[in-house]
Structure 1
């Protein structure tokens, strides 16, 4: 009987390995990602298969249905090529008539955030990855409590992983005031859902279906209070592009709660900004943000400037940057000397050295944390929640606002240029032990 049990166990193990490999090969992945998972499953199946069930899934239409975008209003008369390319992926057309205010400092961002919340009269639709249990987090929830008590319909989504250190007492009071709170991607779920690895990294406040506060900032002292050596970007938006944020929030709420029904913005189209919201994640059938950036970088004629806290690009993005630099395009990548994620710091080393060897300019912020996620390609720019890494481009729920007007692009270029003196140019030459460690951690990146 022992031999029979052993035989059955071997057969089941082989079958599980075969099924897992079939799932890997059927999903849309880069060849590097598929090869890494297949090798992992073959070599250490008892560890690889459980990890794949928890972390290995990407697009799941049954669990995360595609965002239902409303028809674009006030479409741009002469859209830039990247805007037209995004439309081919089902992204609404770039719209004219938007008003945008950039927040370069924590004080500007917090003042605008509180104004957006406290001026709401009918509803607040909010998604954040992280809500800290600190003074800023408490003030944020207190503002929501005040609006809920005033009769405003408050809908708050927090990512379950990012909300680990949330202000629980204040959130309980928010619920008691009548607000609705939902957690995205809970830890306990059916194994076949596989969404433990799919985090909602979006950051946005939509007030009265009219005004949006969004960008790269979470809610916490590090992001919104002075004196924390964190550099970030956010903005306030009004105009036709607000509708896309409403549609994205509706899709998020559809996953965690009851469908919110049809929500239509009446935000005035009296601004001078041309904008186009590009979400990414399991609720977008294609990888529009990633593919549009690859396309835009290959089309670049003068400059590609990127700020990101974490730099783990896909092979396509990395090669696009290298090719652009070799074509004579001014390619600059700005990132922190030391980020708050040591694993990504180890994994990024070889990527940065390859860019440096190709003539790209690497700018390492000497002090503090650069958390801004933005970029400029010639005459367009983007700001949002997406880092320039595999996770943001191909896994997480993210948003990036594409901006096509000259004034906004010039303002972001001036901000980037102003930070350059605070940076150390070039890359560090690692020791042999660090180079070995970097290589090991880089091998894990495609498995995402």
Structure 2
């Protein structure tokens, strides 16, 4: 069987020939018959190659069936879409993260930590210091303090950087550090950075900072990673202090009174090494390798933590599969908060089964998010889970952008939404937390949010339910 990379090359070549045939059709009557025959033959070849690629990839049966049907019904539309969007794991393009050694490894990991370890995720570590940011003003102060205290290097990744006061202040802080001799490296996702402060970024580069854009729009036809966005959010200062979570850089995330609810944190200690490794992998992917970096961080606190990256640079779907396992194993409670809810079938089944087993399952999300498409897509899933006994909590006012969860005596917080794109496509990260004090703090925050929420699902009209069903059928193509 041909390797997938070879099949992609053949499919790209066939696409090029097909374009030439179209040109021949328009070039004169003498070649119309030959061009028509070529179009037919090439169409059959391209459909066959595309279908072979689909069934070779590691996908759910629903996803494979959806792609195959799309290619059969609309081949000249589906094949270009598949070439641009249809590839998930590309080891040649996104090699696995190389994790460095980490001190103070957790001696008796919990079941979730053990499962993640089996997927190649670094072990959970004791002795970390963690400060959660529940308000934008606390998060903003911690962010600028982390930057200002850097003496040697700042390694930064963000999906979105707004061209507003917060975004410009952020870049000004980086310029000040760069002029002071600090090595500043900034990764921005090309899609999320569409409305970036371009003039300020230019001055950062002039001051000695380096700015790189992840996954630009212009790719070769068969690169297949236009939809693989880097959604990670982190600032790593001097390989010792991490500011991370769900917040991007902008007024909505960092200014009080914006009606935007989010979570972030600062982390110190042995677990910082995994953030260093993750940034290094992202920086290497965009052609700017700087070698392995080892963070010599001694224990500084009592928090037990384990960073779990997900995306094309992880060979398996460790985060997704570990969460499925943890929900099935849950004995008491599963509490989730996410802005967008479009789960995989495995996660949907795990949540519904847990609720039917008597587990206290609660899902908190915004009444109306900033993405109307996501709101339409979630309806059918929420109705199914509500019928199974899950508690649905809808924040009445404001945008809930926090991404966190608590399952019995463990929790996580990070950049990953509870949807198929975050779990299986994007470059994401989640910090798993296993100590009682941190889990309790997140539970207390969740409990304080509940009075601000309406309970249950909203009654939907027949036309809306039809549209929601269409979205649900199309979800596996992602």
Q: What is the aligned partner in structure 2 of residue 3 from structure 1?
A: 33
Matched, 1:226 2:256: yes
Q: Between Structure 1 and Structure 2, how many residues are aligned?
A: 448
- CA shift for structure 1 position 63: 0.3
- CA shift for structure 1 position 257: 3.0
Q: What is the aligned partner in structure 1 of residue 155 from structure 2?
A: 125
Q: What is the aligned partner in structure 1 of residue 145 from structure 2?
A: 115
- Residue among 160, 174, 187 paired with 2:217: 187
Which digits, 9 at most, give the CA deviation of each residue in 1:223-257, with x for residues without a partner? 11111101000000000000000000000000113
Q: What is the aligned partner in structure 2 of residue 21 from structure 1?
A: 51
Matched, 1:388 2:418: yes
| CA–CA distance in structure 2, aligned partners of residues 429 and 32 of structure 1 | 28
Segments of structure 1 that go 5 or more residues without pairing to the other structure are: none
Q: Secondary structure at the match of 1:120?
A: coil
Length-normalised TM-score, structure 2: 0.93
| CA–CA distance in structure 1, aligned partners of residues 378 and 443 of structure 2 | 24
Q: Secondary structure at the match of 2:226?
A: helix
Of residues 340-349 and 66-75 in structure 1, the stretch that sits farther from structure 2 once superposed is 66-75
Q: What is the aligned partner in structure 1 of residue 112 from structure 2?
A: 82
| CA–CA distance in structure 2, aligned partners of residues 262 and 92 of structure 1 | 16
Alignment of 1:7-406 (within 5 A): 7-406=37-436
How well do the aligned residues superpose, as a CA RMSD in angstroms? 0.7
| CA–CA distance in structure 1, aligned partners of residues 369 and 297 of structure 2 | 38
Which digits, 9 at most, give the CA deviation of each residue in 1:265-316, with x for residues without a partner? 1223121000000000000000000000000000100000000000000000
Matched, 1:407 2:437: yes
| CA–CA distance in structure 2, aligned partners of residues 323 and 200 of structure 1 | 32
Q: Secondary structure at the match of 1:195?
A: coil
Which digits, 9 at most, give the CA deviation of each residue in 1:7-53, with x for residues without a partner? 11100011111111111111111111111111011111111111111
| CA–CA distance in structure 1, aligned partners of residues 363 and 342 of structure 2 | 12
Q: Are 2:103 and 2:297, in contact at CA under 8 Å, matched by a contact in 1? A: no
Q: Are 1:184 and 1:256, in contact at CA under 8 Å, matched by a contact in 2? A: yes
- CA shift for structure 1 position 443: 1.5
Larger radius of gyration: 2
| CA–CA distance in structure 1, aligned partners of residues 410 and 445 of structure 2 | 15
Which digits, 9 at most, give the CA deviation of each residue in 1:56-94, with x for residues without a partner? 110000000000011332111211000011000000000
| CA–CA distance in structure 1, aligned partners of residues 476 and 376 of structure 2 | 15
| CA–CA distance in structure 2, aligned partners of residues 354 and 220 of structure 1 | 35
| CA–CA distance in structure 2, aligned partners of residues 236 and 270 of structure 1 | 13
| CA–CA distance in structure 2, aligned partners of residues 366 and 427 of structure 1 | 12
Q: Are 2:187 and 2:283, in contact at CA under 8 Å, matched by a contact in 1? A: yes
Q: Are 2:233 and 2:415, in contact at CA under 8 Å, matched by a contact in 1? A: yes
| CA–CA distance in structure 2, aligned partners of residues 404 and 213 of structure 1 | 19
Segments of structure 2 that go 5 or more residues without pairing to the other structure are: 1-30
Length-normalised TM-score, structure 1: 0.99
Q: Secondary structure at the match of 1:196?
A: coil
* Structure 1 stretches of 4+ moved >2 Å: 1-5
